[in-house]
Amino acid sequence: QVQLVESGGGLVQAGDSLRLSCAASGRTFNAMGWFRQAPGKEREFVAAVGRFGIGDRTYYVDSVKGRFTISRDSDKNTLYLQMKNLKPEDTAVYYCAASSRPTFTLVFSGRSSYDYWGQGTQVTVSS
């Protein structure tokens, strides 16, 4: 049974940092990503990492480039999102997502590319 369990969210002030983790179990994945959903808004893409050959490629939404870093530890089957210089507009529930499909078939920013989702972790950034 596949499970994705996020952790690391919390309440921080603007300019602070947080690191989110997503522990995966049940299988390994070709691609994993983070999405977020703020109140009253649609779930949006944040970052993703995909395996191509022997290496990974990373993808980010423009609004987090230079502030967020996605990475994964294959040995632990865990995905991370290091978030720095957080802003109030980063406030949202953050969801981990995973896909076992071939990476060349994926649109990494698209929700439909991912087959598995975690329950989410709340990140609140106060001004």
Distance CA 4, CA 40 (A): 24
Q: Kindly state the average pLDDT of the residues 107-111.
A: 94
pLDDT higher than threshold 90 for residue 53:
no
**pLDDT tens, 59-80?**
999 999 999 999 999 999 999 9
pLDDT higher than threshold 90 for residue 54:
no
**pLDDT tens, 80-93?**
999 999 999 999 99
- Mean pLDDT (the chain) is 96
Distance CA 36, CA 15 (A): 19
pLDDT higher than threshold 90 for residue 106:
yes
